[in-house]
Amino acid sequence: MPHSQLPAKRPRLRSEQRLASGCALQKGQLTKRAIVDAALGLAAQIGLEGLSIGVLAEVTQMSKSGVFAHFGSREELQISVVREYYTRFSNEVFFPAMDEPRGLPRVRSLFANWMKRVAVEIQSGCIFISGAVEFDDRPGPVRDALATSVKTWLAALYRAVVQAKEEGQLGDDADEEQMAFEIHGLILALHYEARFLKNPNAIAHANKGFENILARYGRSVTEPLSRKSKLRSKE
């Protein structure tokens, strides 16, 4: 067939262009997710400060320019890791506990889920804790991302404790903020004792400490319900 008689190339339809664009976008998202996943594993071992575009390029077997294209800077990479860690933490610790009734059952579930995660992180490390050590005196976006994540989680824990008091399951004089503070302190002590000092009884001590907190702040059998708690129990 003479060249002049060759059929003209069919122009791509808009639907095909959208499909191709969507596939490219999905591939890019999957690649970025794989990079963040690798970075999260590394950060647990060597800290957020140990992350670099070069190290991740080597681990993921990508070019430095390929890794850089997904983040634009080392700082943005670190922030992405913090956000991913918080998402996984929430999915494992917070959301499952929301299936429990308001009050102490939910507080217990939050602590139990937290302990399960700590049992794993004793070996791998906790980014919230290591990140606090790395960025405690270094203002900036990474520190802000870390602090916001931790504060959001602690606010959720505090809210669960407040609800337990509203349900009449804690004493009227129970200090909700102090109780949440002590629960958080148990987790920090557990990490230090188990991961650094290799104390084999650290988990048992943390569980006992939690029960002691509940016993100390819980309502006495002979203590009458406050008027507010009575009204809530009737709802």
**Look-up of token digits 């991740």:** 56
Q: Give the pLDDT of residue 26.
A: 73
**Residue 229 reports pLDDT greater than 70:** no
The reported pLDDT for the residue numbered 138 is 93
The average confidence (pLDDT) of the chain is: 87
The 10s digit of each residue's pLDDT in 8-61 is 555 555 555 555 455 555 777 888 899 999 999 999 889 999 998 898 999 889
Residue 20 pLDDT: 47
* Residues 55-92: tens digit of each pLDDT: 899 988 999 898 889 888 999 999 999 999 999 999 99
- When pLDDT is cut at 50, 70 and 90, the band that residue 223 belongs to is low
Res 234 pLDDT > 60: no
What is the C-alpha to C-alpha distance for residues 112 and 93, in angstroms, rounded to an integer? 8
Q: Which residues neighbour 149 within 8 Å (Cβ) at sequence distance 6 or greater?
A: 82, 83, 85, 86, 89, 128
- Give percent above pLDDT 90 in the chain: 67
Beta carbons within 8 Å of 140's beta carbon, 6+ residues apart: 75
User: Could you report the per-residue pLDDT of 94-120, keeping only the tens digit for each?
Assistant: 999 999 999 999 999 999 999 999 999
pLDDT at residue 190 greater than cutoff 60:
yes
Element (H, E) at 153: helix 141-166
Residue 14 has a pLDDT of: 57
Q: What is the crossing angle of helices 74-89 and 14-46, to 10°?
A: 80
Model confidence band, residue 226 (pLDDT cutoffs 50, 70, 90): low
Domains and CATH numbers, the chain: 74-234 (1.10.357.10)
What are the φ and ψ backbone dihedral angles of 191, each rounded to 5 degrees?
Answer: -60, -45
Residue 109: CB atoms within 10 A of its CB come to: 19
